[in-house]
Each structure stands twice: as structure tokens, then as C-alpha cells.
């Protein structure tokens, strides 16, 4: 098993429904360690970079509008195989296909309104943590 750090973004639906603490408790209960956490508004530029893989799609403006409805909470989370384990805890990206007991199955609504973004690979996790956190905002514990 590899110790990894992943990025979680608590999306506007999680923030507006006061689910951040509930979901964070599930992550901590699974044994993961918070290395960085902050609330922030996402700029057009940051969203264009973060969602560059879909920035040319017709639905991209909807993503930007949704992700700017409220501040988001960015979380750098560490643990053994945390990337895969967090994605298992979350359930499928499409909340309508997520089983009850997963975070998205319990709290999500659809493909976009799905509580959290989570890094999907070790390479993306490194890039995403750097995108949302400065070196002085991620701490060893």
C-alpha cells in the first residue's frame, strides 16, 4: 500500500446543505489525515485549468456557474491508498447510480451535483493539490 495525498473539493451543494462536516467525518472515520483545508471562491481561470479536459464541451459553462454558486472547501487528505479508497467511499460520479451508504448515494443528486470532487489518479492528485494549495498550506502530521 502506498501513502498518498489526494484533493477533495466539497462542491457548492455540500456547502449549501451543510454537509461538509458530515462528509469530513466519514473521511476521518476511515482513518485519513487532514493535511490542508480551506474555503475559497473559484475563479474562472482556476476552473478552466481544473476542468481543462471538458473546457471545450457545451456543458462547461454550467459547471462554472455551479462551482461558483458558493465557496468550496478544498481538502488535502492523506492515507494509505487514499485516492482509490476515497473514490469508493464517494461512489460513482453519477449520484443516481451510487448505492446508499456511499457519500454520493446518500447526499448526491446527479452527475454534477454530487457533493465532492476527488482526484482520480496519483498523477492528478499531485497536480490538483498543487493547483489548490500553496506549499505553505499543506502540512506534515
Specify the length of the chain in residues: 141
Is 117 catalytic? The answer is: yes
The Cα 104–Cα 89 span in angstroms is 8
pTM (2 d.p.): 0.96
Show me where the domains of the chain are located: 3-137
Mean pLDDT across the stretch 107-127?
97
User: What CATH code would you report for 3-137?
Assistant: 3.30.70.141
pLDDT of 28 reads 98
pLDDT at residue 95, as a whole number: 97
Strands (E), 3-140: 3-10, 33-40, 72-80, 116-118
**Rounded Cα gap, residues 29 and 10, in angstroms:** 17
Categorize the per-residue pLDDT at 139 as very low, low, confident or very high, splitting at 50, 70 and 90.
very high
What is the mean pLDDT of the segment spanning 55-59? Answer: 94
Q: What are phi and psi of 134, to 5 degrees?
A: -80, 165
| Catalytic member of 98, 115, 117, 119 | 117
Amino acid at each position: 500500500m502506498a501513502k498518498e495525498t489526494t484533493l477533495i473539493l466539497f462542491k457548492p451543494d455540500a456547502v449549501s446543505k451543510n454537509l461538509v462536516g458530515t462528509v469530513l467525518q466519514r473521511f476521518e472515520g476511515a482513518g485519513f489525515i487532514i493535511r490542508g483545508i480551506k474555503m475559497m471562491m473559484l475563479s474562472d481561470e482556476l476552473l478552466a485549468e481544473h476542468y481543462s479536459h471538458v473546457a471545450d464541451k457545451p456543458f462547461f459553462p454550467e459547471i462554472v456557474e455551479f462551482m461558483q454558486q458558493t465557496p468550496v472547501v478544498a481538502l488535502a487528505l492523506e492515507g494509505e491508498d487514499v485516492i482509490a479508497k476515497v473514490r469508493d467511499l464517494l461512489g460513482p460520479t453519477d449520484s443516481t447510480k451510487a448505492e446508499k451508504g456511499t457519500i454520493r448515494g446518500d447526499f448526491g443528486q446527479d452527475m454534477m451535483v454530487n457533493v465532492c470532487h476527488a482526484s482520480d489518479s496519483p498523477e492528478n492528485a499531485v497536480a490538483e493539490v498543487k493547483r489548490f494549495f500553496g506549499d505553505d498550506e499543506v502540512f506534515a502530521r
